[in-house]
Chains A and B, each alone.
Chain A
Amino acid sequence: MKIFYLPDLGEGLPDAEIQEWYVKVGDVVKTDDPLVSMETAKAIVDVPAPFSGKIAVLHGKQGDIIKTGTPLVSFEATGEQRQDAGTVVGHLESHSGVVEEQMKIIKSDASSRNSAKASAVVKGLAARLGVNIMQVTGTGRNGMITAKDVQLLAAHPALKEGFTPIKGSRRMMLASMTHARNEVCPVTVFDDADISAWEKGQDISARMVRALVVAANAEPALNASFDAATQSHKINKDVHVGIAMDTDEGLFVPVIHHAEKLNATQIREQLETLKISVRSRTVKPEDLHGSTITLSNFGKFAGRYATPIVVPPQLAIVANGPKRLDAVVKNNEVVVCPRMPLSLTFDHRAVTGGEATRFMGALIQDLEKAE
């Protein structure tokens, strides 16, 4: 049953008198159909139906006074059932159709991560240093790999199976040769010195050192020092000859300082002293530094020519093989001639071929003298 209460017909009027009913019980009306005319203190007004429905009760007859807000007309309940909205408030959306869904529970193994625990910054550092991040042990919180860990491995990469670290003086050779290879632009010139004129008892090493001094005076460019970083060079008036010595402990290059001031005997003395001190591992640090050019007598066992390595800041190195008897053409004849094979490597960054061959020429000229 729906009750229609008499509304305020205007400005708070307390009541109105029923003038004339337009409907009777049982009538079906639509919204806004006039139901009744009411007389108020001010006027006569028609009251329209507020909704559609069937008249059930008229709460007064013609002439009755109805108070504002009290029942005027009752309508019958409509035939349709009230929908159960399923909610006391608002509106719940619903879609038709059944949803299928897949659902997984992951039995996670938090330890199985396929990436190393390192931040993007540290991974970038590893890439730049050429370190395999998967091989780095992390010392940070929860095993996190820090920048230091990466740098440590870059400085000391992990040993492979079966490898042992290189120790001692061989490490020095490794370092200086690596450095030389990275820097120097080497060219080697090969030639032979005819020593058939040599008098008896010539000391090969002493002759070589003297020849180097002579050649350095003739062509100072090969005795100079070169600084790649500043692209500058220094002419050396003094000739400090590094003598490459192969010992059980490895390669050493002690220096005969001021070879330009020494005679053959002194050179020999120096050589012996250096040899002994190197073999006994008592060689002084200053005796291993300061050479302006290097000499390598490598040919004890085999080998004629070689491509010896120039070690910066030097610009040249001379190597001689053992003297040998060669078949040589002289005066249009083939004769047996004792010769010393020579190899001169120079750094073509700062020395020209002309300078090198002039040096070589002077070297050979002095070597070929009788004494």
Chain B
Amino acid sequence: MSAITLVEAVNQALAHELARDENVVLLGEDIGMNGGVFRATAGLQARFGSKRVIDTPLAETMLGGLGVGMATQGLRPVVEIQFMGFIYPAMDHIVNHASRMRNRTRGRLTCPMVIRTPYGAGIRAPEHHSESTESMFTHIPGLRVVVPSSPFRAYGLLLAAIRDPDPVIFLEPSRIYRLIKQEVPDNGEALPLDTCFVLKEGTDVTLVSWGAMMHETLQVAQQLENDGISAEVIDVATLKPLDMDTILQSVSKTGRCVVIHEAARTSGFGAEIAAELGEKAWDVLKAPVLRVTGFDTIVPLYRKEMQYLPSVERIRDTVDAVLVYERIV
């Protein structure tokens, strides 16, 4: 078994579910014949046919509606939105219908659809291919928001998302689509949703992140290790529903927390985590909870793009800032 990239892991998971469950249907623009602009669905139409892997017209509102319609009538649609920047025409279907279907019908109808979309900056593309607006979705009750940060977790979490009976927004960080390779056995084993993953255990500070920023966060953790500081690294993975217990347990141990996300600062999901920590962990916090985030601006073009994204240096500076605080008692 060879090692595969994150986008290949997505392909592997989709193929597995298409084979396992005849109700699974893929929809999206350029996903069938072209195999997807990032090759996420390469080879799937050839293997499963054009009734299972459907090329749609360029119409995201329709994609949202198709997904809701199929899902409520017994299919398991996996809708690809080509870039997160194109998801907004489908917001009406996502927010007004997909997230509310179970509640509205008192459980008679559910909406087991997955919307998967590449997101995030760092691929030298224009602003509408670079945003990270997960907060729009974490804010909506009834929606699950899942963000893998490695090939292994992309496979397991996508399986879980497809099998889940409720709508999942599955955000694929395009910057790390091909960045690393991992051994990902195609065994159909789903990873649990609604739980954080501790990628590194430590005692001095808790670093919380998700998506592509996991890559920089782990680098900072290694740097800290070399400097004799033990950082605990948590991959949130499922932003909503948030597994606050894992984060609280970690912060009880370390007393310090830094949240890293590329999304813009204001109302970023880091604010939610910081508020929860302020409420539930204030007696064990040795320092304020700090966030390293993208700026409250439109994602800039290539020349400034890497300044926008939280860099290793910027993350390290913030961690150093929380380490300065000491506790006398």
Instruction: Determine if chain A interacts with chain B.
Output: yes
> Would you mind naming 10 contact pairs between A and B with Cβ atoms under 8 Å apart?
A87-B123, A89-B37, A89-B123, A90-B125, A92-B38, A98-B3, A104-B199, A108-B249, A116-B283, A126-B329
Chain A window 62-89, contacts with chain B (Cβ cutoff 8 Å), 1 for yes, 0 for no: 0000000000000000000000101111
- Known contacts A101-B199, A115-B284; decide if A92 and B174 are in contact (CB<8 Å): yes
Chain A window 308-338, contacts with chain B (Cβ cutoff 8 Å), 1 for yes, 0 for no: 0000000000000000000000000000000
Interface-side segment among A117-125, A236-244, A268-276: A117-125
- Known contacts A105-B198, A124-B328; decide if A98 and B182 are in contact (CB<8 Å): yes
List 5 other contacts, CB 8 Å, given A93-B178, A101-B199, A108-B248: A89-B126, A99-B182, A103-B153, A105-B197, A108-B246
Q: B199 to A103, Cβ gap below 8 A?
A: yes
Binding site for B on A (CB under 8 A): 84, 86-95, 97-106, 108-110, 113-120, 123-124, 126-127, 142, 144
- Which listed residue (A86, A90, A115, A127) contacts B252, Cβ 8 A? A115
Chain B window 99-128, contacts with chain A (Cβ cutoff 8 Å), 1 for yes, 0 for no: 000000000000000000000000111100
B contact residues around A115 at 8 Å (CB): 252, 283-284
- Known contacts A92-B177, A101-B152, A110-B245; decide if A118 and B283 are in contact (CB<8 Å): yes
Q: Which B161-198 residues have C-beta < 8 A from chain A?
A: 174-175, 177-183, 192, 195-198
**Which A residue sits closest to B302, measured CB to CB?**
A90
Q: A91 to B178, Cβ gap below 8 A?
A: no
- Which listed residue (B5, B38, B174) contacts A94, Cβ 8 A? B5
Q: B38 to A87, Cβ gap below 8 A?
A: yes
Min Cβ gap B239→A in Å is 16
**Which A residue sits closest to B4, measured CB to CB?**
A98
Min Cβ gap A111→B in Å is 10
Min Cβ gap B96→A in Å is 30
Alpha-carbon distance A110/B292, docked complex (angstroms): 27
Alpha-carbon distance A102/B153, docked complex (angstroms): 11
Min Cβ gap B280→A in Å is 8
Alpha-carbon distance A106/B39, docked complex (angstroms): 34
**Which B residue sits closest to A126, measured CB to CB?**
B329
Q: B181 to A97, Cβ gap below 8 A?
A: yes
B225 located at the interface, meaning its Cβ lies under 8 Å from any Cβ of chain A in the complex:
no
B contact residues around A117 at 8 Å (CB): 283
Binding site for A on B (CB under 8 A): 3, 5, 7, 37-39, 123-126, 129, 150, 152-153, 174-175, 177-183, 192, 195-201, 235, 245-246, 248-250, 252, 280, 282-284, 327-329
- Which listed residue (B37, B199, B327) contacts A120, Cβ 8 A? B327
A contact residues around B280 at 8 Å (CB): 142
Q: A86 to B39, Cβ gap below 8 A?
A: yes
Q: A86 to B38, Cβ gap below 8 A?
A: yes
A contact residues around B152 at 8 Å (CB): 101, 103
Alpha-carbon distance A347/B199, docked complex (angstroms): 69
Q: A89 to B129, Cβ gap below 8 A?
A: yes
Q: B198 to A144, Cβ gap below 8 A?
A: no
Alpha-carbon distance A243/B235, docked complex (angstroms): 77
A contact residues around B124 at 8 Å (CB): 90-91
A contact residues around B174 at 8 Å (CB): 87, 92
Alpha-carbon distance A115/B327, docked complex (angstroms): 14
Q: A127 to B123, Cβ gap below 8 A?
A: no
Q: B283 to A119, Cβ gap below 8 A?
A: yes
Min Cβ gap B315→A in Å is 18
A contact residues around B246 at 8 Å (CB): 105-106, 108
- Known contacts A123-B329, A124-B329; decide if A104 and B183 are in contact (CB<8 Å): no
- Known contacts A86-B178, A89-B129, A90-B124; decide if A127 and B329 are in contact (CB<8 Å): yes
A contact residues around B249 at 8 Å (CB): 106, 108-110
